[in-house]
Copies of this chain bind each other. A is one copy, B any other.
Amino acid sequence: MTTQSKVNNIFYKEGQKLLVAVDCIVFGFNRGKLKLLIMERKIEPQKGKWSLIGGFVQKDESLDQAAYRILQACTGIHDMHLDQLYAFGEVDRDTGGRVVSVAYYSLINLELFEQELLKEYNAKWINIDDIPELALDHNKMANSALEALQKQASIKPIGFELLPEKFTLPQLQLLYEAIYNRKMDKRNFQKKILKNDLLIKLDEKDKSTSKKGAYLYRFDLDKYSKIKSNEDSFYIKV
């Protein structure tokens, strides 16, 4: 046996084609609660069960494109940000056959969300600590995504993707408290957030939650895109 043929025998195997899916873990934020978008599963197995938003990758589209296509069709949102989470590839993860699924997660600004799509697709937002049993390994995916979100939130200013363009510091704090599932100190939180110098204080107040009213802020996207390049210029230790 030559070396070459030995190599082939031991580890070189011809490729076998598999189904490749993408599943999207979509987070939203509303009224102080972090939410997850789920919908009724449209295909067997487990048709009709609650599940993440997903679909199959086509031959002529990248993984990113597939995730984008599916998420856009289902939320109506354009230009949303998607991050790849993990490729789930257990042999028996889909009881209907071998499917490798690449999970993506996304943060959605609920203001931009087309509510009518919820009905159209039998979808709904549920509170993050109230997730039902989902199809296949989707609960595992959702949990991983929440962990990833927590990691992200400490090294990147992710708030502006989940909040409206103008938001107050108390709102932002509620978001972080929802993500990390614990109360934070108001003064320390504001110090940490403002230290990064990425928020612009506006001359407007939001009086919807208090008589005094809270100042509105917006993210300084210009400054952010400048510093994004040089690593760890943003940092929130939570």
Complex CA–CA separation, A90 to B84 (angstroms): 13
- Bound together, the chains give a CA A45 to CA B179 distance in angstroms of 45
Question: Which bucket holds chain A's interface residue count?
Answer: 35 or more
Closest B residue to A16 by beta carbon equals B59
Question: Which one of A12, A60, A88, A89 has the highest number of Cβ atoms from chain B below 10 Å of its Cβ?
Answer: A89
Please provide the chain A residues from 75 to 98 with a CB less than 8 Å away from any CB of chain B in the complex.
84, 86-91, 98
A102 in contact (CB, < 8 A): yes
Copies of this subunit: 2
A60 touching B91, Cβ below 8 Å: yes
> When the two chains form their complex, are residues A55 and B11 in contact, meaning their CB atoms are under 8 A apart?
yes
> Nearest Cβ distance between residue A10 and chain B, in whole angstroms?
5
Q: Given that A17-B18, A18-B17 are known contacts, is A100 also in contact with B57, CB under 8 Å in the complex?
A: yes
Task: State the CA gap A7–B39 with chains docked (Å).
Answer: 12
Q: Is the CB of A121 within 8 A of B7?
A: yes
The answer to the question of A135 belonging to the interface, with a C-beta cut-off of 8 Å to chain B, is no
A42 at the interface (CB under 8 A from B): yes
Contact of A14 (CB < 8 Å), options: B13, B56, B69, B98? B56
A19-B57 Cα distance, complex, nearest whole Å: 12
Query: Would you call A204 an interface residue if the criterion is a C-beta within 8 Å of the partner chain's C-beta atoms?
Result: no
Q: Which residues of A contact B (CB under 8 A)?
A: 3, 6-8, 10-21, 42-43, 55-64, 66, 69-70, 73-74, 84, 86-91, 98-100, 102, 120-121
Return 25 A-B CB contacts under 8 Å, by A number: A7-B120, A7-B121, A11-B69, A12-B55, A13-B58, A15-B21, A15-B57, A15-B99, A16-B19, A16-B56, A17-B19, A18-B20, A18-B57, A18-B59, A20-B20, A20-B89, A57-B100, A61-B91, A62-B91, A63-B89, A64-B89, A84-B86, A87-B87, A87-B102, A100-B102
